[in-house]
Structure 1
Amino acid sequence: MPPSSPYPITLDANERVALQRLARRPTASYRMVVRARIVLAAAGGASNTAIAADQRVHVDTVRKWRVRFWQRRLDGLTDVPRPGRPRRFTDVQTAQVKALACELPADRGVPLSRWSAADLADEAVAAGVVDDISASTVTRWLAADAIKPWRHRSWIFPRDPHFTAKASTVLDLYARIWDGRPLNDGDFVISADEKTSIQARCRCHPTLPPGQTRLMRVEHEYERGGALAYLAALDVANGKVLGRCDASTGITPFARLVKQVMTSEPYASADRVFWIVDNGSSHRGQTSIDRMANTWPNAKLVHLPVHASWLNQVELYFSIVQRKVVTPNDFYDLTDVEDRLTAFQDHYNLGARPFNRRYTEKNLDALLKRLTIHEPLPTAAQSPTN
């Protein structure tokens, strides 16, 4: 006969029911189910060796949970709290390092344009926030709050005193409204601009097509073949583009684009054609408005606010041209550039459709409210003198 355990298990009715429920509960963790089965088997008189073989665990495991139950009953089946590795950093230190990441390095006298995780770790030690810390720890802390001080985004404060009024006028035109009234079928809205300095870079070795497990390969060295400008007019309503290439930008090249559009149908016989343009030198100021009206009586030039080219829908088309035609830049000469741009324009117009822009005056108002919390820096004329 095997020796009996010095820790006999006797269960009352409540304990037996609780252990049976735990052993059959489908949502219980497996280790808790095994512990309940061990105690039930021990209460039935089974030896530690037999229980271990039946539950496929080590006999020391059976002995451990028999003793724990004998000492503390049902509470003995739960895990004892483990101390674990003591924390090296306090919550205050974590917050201080995150605060450092939200400061500009120059404000702390550090000769950097932006922080990296390693730089922040060094600065935290130099500032006495911590005695020692790794860059990986800093990265993990910043990731918890999506703080990325090594990245930046350019922006510009609106300085046009009539920014809201001008931007609202353009957004109304996109919604086919002018002076508070809907446009009629004989009215058209054109978004126009120039994409300058498209270079013809002839690679010293031909571009290799992609293959299995191989990217397209573009030779690094090239010879310059000059540059040209691509002028385009986007019909906002249907998404079609009329464009042309010219040696440069300016009043005369832009006038040629306007003539190309205004002498073609349906614009030649339109009631009104609204031209949305930025404040580039080719079409700047009241002079350009008068010039357009005198040359084309049914055309009306509408200027965007200064530094608001992002409201000009033709810029979306130019971004497509940049991705699909110009990059990577590999052309034999300027004629090749012009032919490629013209062919792509024809290809684009086959399936052209209007851009689904949902930027409204409500979005504009929200943007301006966010910008009001930023005070623009004083200009040179406003700067105090010594």
Structure 2
Amino acid sequence: MARPLAELVLSDDERQTLTTWASRPESTLRLATRARIVPACAEGLENEAVAARPRVRSATVGTWRRRFVERRLEGLADEPRPGAPRTIADADVERGVTGTLETKPESATHWSTRGMAEAAGMSQTAVGRIWRSFGPKPHLRETSKLSTDPFFVEKVRDVVGLYMSPPERAIALCVGEKSQVQALDRTQPLLPMTPGQAERPTHDYVRNGTTSLLAALDVATGGVIGRCHRRHRAKGFLRFLDEVHARVPREPGVEVHLVLDHYATHETPAVERWFLRPPEYHLHFTPTSSSWLNLVERFFAEITETRIRRGVFRSVAALEAAIRGYLEHHNADPKPFVWAADADLILNRIKRVCKRTSDSGH
């Protein structure tokens, strides 16, 4: 006599859950198969008939039929697998993490895996696994600087408000200067990239002079007005303003808003007089030490990464020609940079940073 089949009846919620598990892309193949077996068993079919659908053994169908009857949906999950017991307790993990974050070695500025392993009494492999799991990276360091501008909050709201809610019938331009762009040439020819081998320039280089790139980024369109100047003076900035004034389309009733930083050449008496002439320009200054608020810096980062950093320039003229070529290519099909963080989000993040640094004891 065959063993009688356990009666299996599904509720509406269970049937819906099993359908979701069987069709959800995130489900594992094992769980999806089990989620198909159980509804088939609820139809009153024999194990052999059910096994033919997902192409599994009838014994497998019997196992999951019995597990579901005994423990319902929870019975379809994998049971804990046997294995070697843990050798690192939770207290050891906590000691490794807190020691990395809150202490420093006596003869170094930061912990290494070997140093922390010796101090915590664990293996180097265990320390590396803990760091990967919880995220401390003592070998990395990033720079930061908080603005001391007394009108920081007001300027942040002003500039970010211009990006996210620009006035109607207005042109917003972000003006900035990328100074001291070096024309660098390598001392030996470049070894080109090959399959399995990265491009290899020499580590040493020859300086062939510098230039400065003045740029005005149209926030709405992404187009850029750019000009190179060999000398870093206010006269060059005035000539660039004349070029911007000539190239910006002006219609009656259209205002022009300029986002500027507190660069020395932007605040000379001659520049101030230039802005007093008609038509009126509306100026929006970023806080001190906050050039990241100026969207033109995003364009400077892009041209540096894609055209300048890995370029080889035997003269300043060659560097300036490359910059002009990049500007022409960019303006042929410009794409705007979308500002997504509102003023409250920025100010709350800075508030948390200030609180964390003020409570750190440094």
**Residue aligning to 1:155:** 144
1:335 corresponds to 2:317: yes
Distance 1:158 1:371, change over 3 A: farther
Distance 1:318 1:88, change over 3 A: same
Q: Is the 8 A contact 1:157 1:376 kept in 2?
A: no
Map Cα deviations across residues 306-346 of structure 1 (whole Å, 9 max, x no partner): 12111110011111100111021311200000111011101
CA distance in 2, matches of 1:238, 1:376: 41
**Residue aligning to 2:107:** 111
Of 157, 167, 171, the residue aligned with 1:168 is: 157
Distance 1:322 1:18, change over 3 A: same
Of 212, 216, 234, the residue aligned with 2:199 is: 216
1:356 corresponds to 2:338: yes
Q: How does 1:55-204 map to 2 (within 5 A)?
A: 85=84, 87-105=86-104, 110-124=106-120, 130=121, 133-177=122-166, 183-185=167-169, 187-204=170-187
Greater RCO, 1 or 2 (C-alpha within 8 Å, sep 6+): 2
Q: Is the 8 A contact 2:259 2:286 kept in 1?
A: yes
Aligned-pair Cα RMSD in Å: 3.5
Q: How does 1:176-325 map to 2 (within 5 A)?
A: 176-177=165-166, 183-185=167-169, 187-267=170-250, 271-284=254-267, 290-295=272-277, 297-325=279-307
SS across alignment from 2:292? helix
**Residue aligning to 1:373:** 355
SS across alignment from 1:102? helix
Distance 1:122 1:269, change over 3 A: farther
Q: Is the 8 A contact 1:292 1:300 kept in 2?
A: no
Q: Is the 8 A contact 2:234 2:271 kept in 1?
A: no
CA distance in 1, matches of 2:322, 2:253: 31
Map Cα deviations across residues 63-121 of structure 1 (whole Å, 9 max, x no partner): xxxxxxxxxxxxxxxx9x96x6454333212211111011141xxx6232222222211
Distance 1:94 1:253, change over 3 A: same
Q: Which runs of 5+ in 1 are unaligned?
A: 1-12, 37-78, 125-129, 178-182, 378-386
SS across alignment from 1:321? helix
Map Cα deviations across residues 283-325 of structure 1 (whole Å, 9 max, x no partner): 248x577334225542233210112111110011111100111
Q: Which runs of 5+ in 2 are unaligned?
A: 7-40, 64-78
Shift, 1:238, TM fit:
1.1
Shift, 1:359, TM fit:
1.8
**Residue aligning to 1:381:** none
**What is the one-letter code of the residue matched to 1:155?**
S
Deviates more, 1:144-153 or 1:288-297: 288-297
Q: Is the 8 A contact 1:204 1:219 kept in 2?
A: yes
CA distance in 2, matches of 1:230, 1:269: 31
Q: Is the 8 A contact 1:120 1:138 kept in 2?
A: yes
CA distance in 2, matches of 1:209, 1:90: 50
SS across alignment from 1:331? coil
Distance 1:284 1:119, change over 3 A: farther
CA distance in 1, matches of 2:154, 2:213: 30
Shift, 1:205, TM fit:
3.2
Map Cα deviations across residues 177-226 of structure 1 (whole Å, 9 max, x no partner): 4xxxxx232x2111011112111122233335444444434344432211
CA distance in 2, matches of 1:86, 1:162: 59
Shift, 1:151, TM fit:
2.3
Which structure has the greater CA radius of gyration? 1
SS across alignment from 1:189? strand
CA distance in 1, matches of 2:157, 2:209: 39
CA distance in 2, matches of 1:284, 1:367: 30
TM-score norm. by structure 1 comes to 0.68
Map Cα deviations across residues 125-155 of structure 1 (whole Å, 9 max, x no partner): xxxxx3xx21110111222222323223322
Map Cα deviations across residues 158-187 of structure 1 (whole Å, 9 max, x no partner): 32221111011111211344xxxxx232x2
Map Cα deviations across residues 260-296 of structure 1 (whole Å, 9 max, x no partner): 10122415977432211112212248x5773342255
Distance 1:364 1:247, change over 3 A: same
Shift, 1:230, TM fit:
0.9
Q: Is the 8 A contact 2:192 2:198 kept in 1?
A: yes
CA distance in 2, matches of 1:373, 1:288: 41
